[in-house]
Amino acid sequence: MVIIDTNIFISALRGNVEAGKYLQTYQRNGFVSIITELELLVGARTKLQKQQAEAILNAFDKIKISHEIYIHAKRFLKEYNTNAKSLYLPDALIAATTIEMRFSLLTYDQADYKFIKGLKLL
């Protein structure tokens, strides 16, 4: 099972063919964190962009933030958000969701996650 990172959806919405194929491939066994849903709505500036974001997200089951996901994300922020590297809250929550669900994370921004122990990246 796979969690799809926000950047894959953004790329697909911008017409990236490869990203669109990823979404088609993982439509039946791919999931999104509710953080991805919120990030896409923040980035959508027009009514049409918001409608497109919601339409593309409707094909995927969303995973809510549980207490366990919160605990993982909190630990990640304490451990990995340092002077040497930056881990942002949305990425911490998406990584925590992926680990808690024991899934892999499909992302174009592997550098944002590669230092998180136990996280499987695609």
Other beta carbons less than 10 A from residue 46's beta carbon: 8
What tens digit of pLDDT does each residue of 63-122 get? Answer: 999 999 999 999 999 999 887 788 999 999 999 999 999 999 999 999 999 999 999 999
Quick one: fold of 2-121?
A: Rossmann fold (3.40.50)
Task: Tell me the C-alpha to C-alpha distance, in Å, between residue 12 and each of 6, 66, 72.
Answer: 10, 28, 29
Query: In whole angstroms, what is the distance from residue 90 CA to residue 96 CA?
Result: 10
Residue ranges per structural domain of the chain? 2-121
Kindly report the pTM of this predicted structure: 0.91
